[in-house]
């Protein structure tokens, strides 16, 4: 650690606002490429800087204590930390200022890891880091104390989607005393888990899991279940959202018809129906709209299985090629009374399972469906589901032979590797293929016992071409995000390149969306197994309950501020604003005469600065990011380059 003290004359010039610059080695991530000592020395000479220091890990307790000590001893009253990305530790260092008794917004962050040491080396890295630190110090010298925006919240949460993630989130929220509205588009609770038989690797019955979970939800007085319902309108901000819901939507009608068309009378509420879920009642005949006032929204909108294209591995061309969900459904309907599994009355002596169908697709190798993107991600759960299915077949129908064709086996979760070991003991035969040379499915001719033949180059036997006769080919299809384009547009939700909803940060804020008060649960975010989905749901519930428990929320004050004396009421800012309700023209009296002036609703403002860019009189600024602060940063960079 090195300290540079500024001489008394220079310190006197900056007596009013004394900036402390704290530079992190980041354990070598930064200091291996940036000359941190030279950077510290040059930062110490910047105008307004009173103290410049370095530390191996500035985010550590000793690093933060160093900053607190300087603040409390009066050496500095503004802080700059030069370290990794602000998304990782800006909130950490704002908290440091708070613990020292200072306003947390008297802080500026300089990113010299991702923007410098990870992309530059040697002198260019040090020069760029110096310019960024000089700009941050110049801005810090012009920072003023800000107060967070405090808003009362509605102590109520809404969960959209009643699969296992939505059920778990609703239950966890209710157990913390928070009223919950659970919205589901069908008349059933349980989602895709209802279509399963046994759950790998625990071998628990899906029906038992869902019956237990839904019974807790239906018996919880704090949870109001809205089935056959869709969200058709969304407004408001964190703590004060308004959802418009429509009962008896199209999906609800379709599912309701299935319910009424069953040969038996409509089952009573709370009863599990295989392939459907737990019944909550019939969809109402007359459509109706209603609204829900809520403080937080958890999205648990789930996934849909990949639908193979016509001809993909023979799907649609050969009736003996089916998807894994279809095969699981058929197996669940069998009683295991024969040594050979029967599909629609036909014995299945040779069963083939092909992995990675609709997952890990490679540009130039795989073909995407029209209007769709390739699914380049791993769906993660398919391997374990396939192995569990193979074990179930072999253990219940020992005469049925099972062959697995795979690129890689990924049994990553607790207890899942045992599925692979069990499959080996059950004499399931494995063939490994390259993505560029997938198995070929062809008809085996009319005289053959098995209708299909699979040809593949097996890399386990050094590329030997193998032919396997098959009575049934099962495609282990991956997960795709559910079609929620309406909610994405309505709520302005961020979507990743894979189509799933995108969290703020995978480690620091794994279940949060950039829109405060909106949270993620389960497979709307990424492929997950049941345990991961319910864990994510519980995390979202904890976040929501923490948000609502105090009765108010505090939002960062980086919002637009209007200088009414300079505002001429052109309305250009209102047109440019991307957020409804954030800006409007309001009538105000000036010297007894009415004028139209821009007015900001801080709770809705995104702090994006679009209004600043179009204001012809520079009457708008963003708190914490004013035009004067930007000018100071640019001047500092120019001065540094000229030095």
Which CATH number belongs to the domain containing residue 44 in this structure? 3.40.50
- pLDDT by residue (tens digit) across 132-191? 999 999 999 999 999 999 999 999 999 999 999 999 999 999 999 999 999 999 999 999
pLDDT of residue 93: 97
Asked if 328 and 475 sit in the same domain, the reply is yes
Q: How confident is the model at residue 272 (pLDDT cuts 50, 70, 90)?
A: confident
The CATH number of the domain holding residue 608 is 3.30.70.20
From the CB of residue 269, how many other CB atoms can be counted at a distance below 10 Å?
13
152 falls within a domain: no
- Cβ-contact 48, 138 below 8 angstroms: yes
The CATH number of the domain holding residue 340 is 3.50.50.60
More confident residue, 422 or 603: 422
| Residue that finishes a domain, picked among 532, 553, 574 | 553
Asked if 313 and 460 sit in the same domain, the reply is yes
636 falls within a domain: no
pLDDT of residue 220: 96
pTM for the whole thing?
A: 0.84
124 falls within a domain: yes
- Cβ-contact 476, 386 below 8 angstroms: yes
- pLDDT by residue (tens digit) across 364-399? 999 888 888 899 999 999 999 999 999 999 999 999
Asked if 595 and 569 sit in the same domain, the reply is yes
- pLDDT by residue (tens digit) across 590-607? 777 888 999 999 988 989
pLDDT of residue 14: 41
Asked if 274 and 359 sit in the same domain, the reply is no
Asked if 137 and 222 sit in the same domain, the reply is no
- Cβ-contact 20, 78 below 8 angstroms: yes
DSSP 524-541: GTS---HHHHHHHHHHHH
Sign of CA dihedral 439, 443, 445, 449: positive
From the CB of residue 484, how many other CB atoms can be counted at a distance below 10 Å?
20
Whole-number Å distance between alpha carbons of 180 and 178: 6
Whole-number Å distance between alpha carbons of 66 and 100: 11
Q: How confident is the model at residue 437 (pLDDT cuts 50, 70, 90)?
A: very high
Q: How confident is the model at residue 258 (pLDDT cuts 50, 70, 90)?
A: low
- Cβ-contact 96, 62 below 8 angstroms: no
Asked if 527 and 616 sit in the same domain, the reply is no
Asked if 341 and 253 sit in the same domain, the reply is no
Asked if 527 and 463 sit in the same domain, the reply is no
pLDDT of residue 421: 95
Asked if 412 and 334 sit in the same domain, the reply is yes
Asked if 117 and 203 sit in the same domain, the reply is no
| Residue that finishes a domain, picked among 553, 574, 594 | 553
DSSP 282-314: PPPSS-EEEEEEESEEEE---EEE--PPTTGGG
179 falls within a domain: yes
Instruction: Give the whole-number percent of the chain exceeding pLDDT 90.
Output: 78
127 falls within a domain: yes
Q: By C-alpha distance, which of 291, 242, 300, 240 is closest to 548?
A: 240
634 falls within a domain: no
Cα radius of gyration (the chain): 30
629 falls within a domain: no
pLDDT beyond 60 at 412: yes
- pLDDT by residue (tens digit) across 161-172? 999 999 999 999
pLDDT of residue 444: 86
Number of domains in the chain: 4
Asked if 290 and 358 sit in the same domain, the reply is no
Whole-number Å distance between alpha carbons of 359 and 308: 11
Whole-number Å distance between alpha carbons of 320 and 316: 9
DSSP state of 522: G
Asked if 122 and 60 sit in the same domain, the reply is yes
Q: Domain range spanning residue 353? A: 308-479
642 falls within a domain: no
Instruction: Give the whole-number percent of the chain exceeding pLDDT 70.
Output: 94
pLDDT of residue 262: 55
pLDDT of residue 259: 58
Return all residues near 56 (Cβ < 8 A) that are at least 6 apart. 1, 24, 25, 27, 63
| Residue that finishes a domain, picked among 479, 502, 521 | 479
């Amino acid at each position: 650690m090195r300290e540079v003290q500024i001489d008394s004359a220079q310190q006197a010039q900056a007596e009013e606002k004394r900036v402390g610059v704290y530079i992190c080695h980041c354990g070598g991530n930064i200091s291996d490429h940036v000359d941190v000592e030279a950077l510290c020395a040059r930062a110490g000479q910047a105008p307004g800087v009173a103290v410049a220091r370095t530390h191996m890990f500035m985010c550590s307790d000793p690093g933060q204590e160093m900053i607190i000590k300087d603040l409390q001893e009066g050496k500095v009253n503004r802080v700059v930390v030069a370290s990794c990305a602000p998304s990782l530790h800006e909130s950490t260092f704002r908290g440091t200022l708070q613990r020292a008794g200072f306003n947390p917004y008297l802080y500026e962050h300089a990113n010299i890891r991702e923007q410098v040491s990870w992309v530059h080396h040697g002198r260019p890295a040090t020069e760029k880091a110096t310019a960024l630190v000089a700009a941050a110090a110049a801005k810090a010298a012009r920072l003023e104390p800000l107060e967070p925006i405090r808003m009362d919240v509605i102590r109520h949460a809404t969960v959209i989607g009643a699969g296992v993630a939505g059920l778990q989130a609703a239950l966890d929220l209710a157990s913390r005393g928070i009223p919950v509205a659970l919205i589901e588009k069908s008349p059933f609770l349980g989602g895709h888990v209802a279509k399963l038989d046994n759950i790998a690797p625990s071998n628990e019955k899906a029906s038992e899991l869902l019956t237990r979970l839904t019974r807790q939800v239906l018996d919880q007085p704090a949870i109001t279940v809205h089935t056959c319902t869709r969200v058709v309108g969304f407004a408001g901000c964190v703590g004060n959202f308004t959802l418009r819901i429509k009962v008896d939507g199209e999906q609800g009608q379709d599912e309701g018809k299935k319910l009424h068309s069953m040969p038996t009378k409509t089952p009573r509420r709370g009863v599990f129906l295989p392939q459907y879920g737990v019944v909550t009642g019939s969809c109402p005949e007359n459509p109706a709209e209603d609204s829900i006032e809520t403080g937080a929204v958890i999205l648990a909108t789930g996934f849909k299985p990949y639908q193979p294209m016509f001809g993909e591995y023979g799907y649609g061309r050969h009736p003996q090629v089916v998807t894994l969900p279809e095969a699981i459904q058929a197996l669940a309907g069998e009683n295991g009374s024969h040594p050979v599994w029967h599909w629609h009355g036909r014995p299945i002596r040779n069963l083939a399972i092909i992995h990675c169908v609709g997952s890990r697709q490679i540009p130039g190798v795989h073909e995407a469906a029209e209007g769709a993107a390739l699914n380049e991600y791993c769906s993660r759960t398919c391997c374990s589901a396939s192995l569990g299915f193979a074990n179930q077949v072999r253990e219940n129908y020992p005469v049925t032979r099972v062959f697995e064709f795979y690129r890689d086996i990924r049994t990553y979760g607790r207890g899942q590797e045992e599925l692979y070991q069990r499959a080996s003991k059950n004499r399931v035969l494995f063939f490994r293929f390259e993505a560029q040379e997938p198995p070929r499915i062809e008809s085996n001719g009319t005289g053959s016992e098995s209708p299909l033949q699979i040809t593949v180059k097996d890399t386990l036997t050094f590329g030997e071409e193998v032919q396997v006769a098959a009575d049934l080919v099962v495609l282990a299809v991956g997960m795709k995000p559910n079609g929620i384009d309406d909610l994405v547009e309505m709520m302005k939700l961020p979507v990743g390149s894979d189509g799933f909803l995108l969290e703020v940060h995978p480690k620091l804020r794994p279940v949060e969306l950039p829109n405060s008060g909106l949270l993620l649960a389960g497979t709307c975010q990424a492929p997950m197994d049941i345990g991961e989905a319910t864990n994510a749901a519980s995390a979202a519930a904890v976040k929501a309950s923490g948000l609502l428990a105090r009765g108010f929320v505090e939002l960062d004050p980086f919002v637009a501020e209007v200088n009414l004396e300079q505002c001429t009421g052109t309305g250009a800012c209102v047109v440019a604003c991307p957020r409804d309700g954030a800006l409007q023209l309001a009538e105000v009296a000036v010297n007894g005469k009415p004028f139209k002036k821009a007015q900001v609703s801080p709770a809705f403002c995104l702090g994006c600065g679009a209004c600043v860019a179009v204001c012809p009189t520079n009457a708008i600024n963003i708190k914490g990011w004013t035009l004067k602060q930007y000018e100071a940063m640019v001047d500092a960079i120019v001065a540094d380059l000229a030095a």
